[in-house]
Amino acid sequence: MSDRPHPVPRLTGTPPISGRFKVAPEDFRVDEIAAFDPDGAGEHCHVRLRKRDLTTKRAVELLCRALGADPRQAGWAGMKDRHAVTTQWVSVFGVSPEDARGAEVEGLEVLEAHAHGRKRKPGQLRGNRFELVVRDVPEDALPALREALETLVARGAPNAFGAQRFGRDGDNVAKARAWLVEGGRPPRGRFEKRLYVSALQSDAFNRALAERLEEGSFDRPIDGDLFRKEDTGGLFVSDDLARATERCAAWEISPTGPMFGRKMRAPEGEAGAREARLREALGLDDAVLARFGKLGLGTRRPYRVRVADAELAPAEGGVRLAFALPSGAYATVVLGELFKGGLVDASRAGS
């Protein structure tokens, strides 16, 4: 089995459409949808900031330097794109909201700051709102883009992990297998170890998702599926496939796939058998999962995500696109469904 990240088939059947995105940071805007608001009391200062052409890590480092705070005690819910204009919440320890509001950092603007009792942790967000401009799109491409977007809104977007999950050169899966499956030398740092465990889990999920897309069942049940309730996140197995099909169509539930780990809950029946075969094919036996340790205890991930508040309109020299995705979903997957292989990331191409 290949050590390269597994390709995921497209859901939409529209042809490739050319275009360029991230021509300028202002062409790619991301606004974090927070999971909670700071309560106004505590030693952690929660700052909502807007950054331009900075990674989240670098923005936090610069903010902490300006405030005399320790960046190792800072927190954030999720990493945001560098080549973009993004807003998000971060937490800084031992800083007053008044001082944070007065911070002056190039490429960064403090929008608000409030005290809170705990630091902001990874995953503590509901999702992200994206507003994008894609340039140099053919004038006759709008109908095909609308058709693909309507499919995504109706059925959901495949919840695949994007290429950024697997490293700049796509070699994190091979490095992870060399360490975790083949028993090679482990990475030195905890951060790198976490990246490799995550890459191996993510590739396995993408392989399971690819099988469901190929048979058309990524948004409908098969025997033994472990479903996630859309409103509460609760997991359950249903023995009534007809009722489960109705609930999937109504966006009440969605089938889930594996993020393998020793504490992951497995599905039953045919779904369970497929995941067992996948584990065996990838060499992810119990000893390998034990090597994941606390870096990859395992969980379930929905095979699809809802594309909310979707908008598409012509713009000067291209199109303007907006949509919201839940936490953990990738905007690049949505763009891939709309444009197929025709989209060029201008920030990487040096345009």
DSSP class per residue in 29-77: EEEEEES----S-SSEEEEEEEEES--HHHHHHHHHHHHT--GGG-EES
Question: CA–CA separation, 130 vs 29, rounded Å?
Answer: 6
State pLDDT tens for residues 244-293. 999 999 999 999 999 999 999 999 999 999 999 999 999 999 999 999 99
Confidence of residue 351 (pLDDT cuts 50, 70, 90): very low
Contact between 119 and 73 under an 8 Å Cβ cutoff? The reply is yes
Residue 348: the pLDDT is: 82
Residue bearing tokens 């490095």: 175
**Longest CA–CA separation in the chain, Å:** 60
Question: CA–CA separation, 37 vs 164, rounded Å?
Answer: 29
The tokens describing 195, both together, are 């990246």
Residue 191: the pLDDT is: 86
pTM of the model: 0.90
Residue 164: the pLDDT is: 83
Q: Are strands 343-345 and 19-21 parallel, antiparallel or unpaired?
A: parallel
Mean pLDDT, rounded, for 94-122: 97
What would the DSSP string read from start to end of 174-240?
Answer: HHHIIIIIT--PPPSSHHHHHHHHHHHHHHHHHHHHHHHHHHT-TTS--TT-EEEETTT--EEE-S-
Residue 1 has pLDDT above 70, yes or no: no
The tokens describing 255, both together, are 């089938």
Query: CA nearest 253: which of 239, 238, 268?
Result: 238
Question: CA–CA separation, 293 vs 238, rounded Å?
Answer: 31
Confidence of residue 45 (pLDDT cuts 50, 70, 90): very high
Mean pLDDT, rounded, for 307-323: 95
Question: CA–CA separation, 158 vs 286, rounded Å?
Answer: 28
Residue 350 has pLDDT above 60, yes or no: no
Residue 241 has pLDDT above 90, yes or no: yes
Is 81 noted as a catalytic residue in this protein? yes
Catalytic residue among 27, 31, 81, 203: 81
Q: Identify the bridge partners of residue 125 per DSSP, sorted by sequence position.
A: 34
State pLDDT tens for residues 178-227. 999 999 999 988 889 999 999 999 999 999 999 999 999 999 999 999 99
Question: CA–CA separation, 80 vs 122, rounded Å?
Answer: 12
Question: CA–CA separation, 225 vs 169, rounded Å?
Answer: 34
Contact between 78 and 123 under an 8 Å Cβ cutoff? The reply is yes
Question: Over the Cα atoms of the chain, what is R_g?
Answer: 21
- Helix H or strand E encompassing 300: strand 299-302
Mean pLDDT, rounded, for 228-253: 96
The residues near 41 (Cβ < 8 Å, ≥ 6 apart) are 115, 116, 117
